[in-house]
Amino acid sequence: QVQLVQSGAEVRKPGASVKVSCKSSGYTFTDYYILWVRQAPGQGLECLGRINPNSGGTKTAQKFQGRVTMTRDTSLNTVYLELNSLTSDDTAVYFCARGIQLWFLESQGSFDYWGQGTLVTVSS
């Protein structure tokens, strides 16, 4: 069965960086986009961007450009989200989610499987 398993909770001080991982199993890792979505406490869902696990190509939300890096390791079926220059506003649960297959338009498709979420807390 398809599973996305994320790394554990993190606590960082303002100005630091954090790297969250998302390991996929149960399907061909390089066939589907992976997206990163975050949810601040008591708030809604916000998309940070997506990665093409086959090529490594990324698309980052303008709001996060310069602060977000998305990478993948195909030998581990794992994608990573790194967020730099953290502030308290970055305190949130970060989810990875599987998007559509790469040969379809990225505008199509839903997020059919999600990781369990990783809580990142930024506090001095």
Partner 1 sequence: QSVLTQPPSVSGAPGQRVTISCTGSRYNLGTGFDVHWYQQLPGTAPKLLIYDNDNRPSGVPDRFSASKSGTSASLAITGLQAEDEAVYYCQSYDSSLSPNWVFGGGTKLTVL
Residues found near partner 1 in the complex (CB under 8 A): 35, 37, 44-50, 59-63, 95, 97, 106-117
Minimum CB separation from partner 1 for residue 13, in Å?
Answer: 26
Minimum CB separation from partner 1 for residue 95, in Å?
Answer: 6
Q: Are strands 3-6 and 58-60 parallel, antiparallel or unpaired?
A: unpaired
Contact 40, 19 (CB under 8 A): no
> Closer CB to partner 1, residue 31 or residue 112?
112
> Closer CB to partner 1, residue 3 or residue 74?
3
Minimum CB separation from partner 1 for residue 81, in Å?
Answer: 13
Two structure tokens written together for 50: 């997506």
- In which element (H, E) is residue 17 found? none
- Which of 60, 7, 51 lies closest to 30 in space, CA to CA? 51
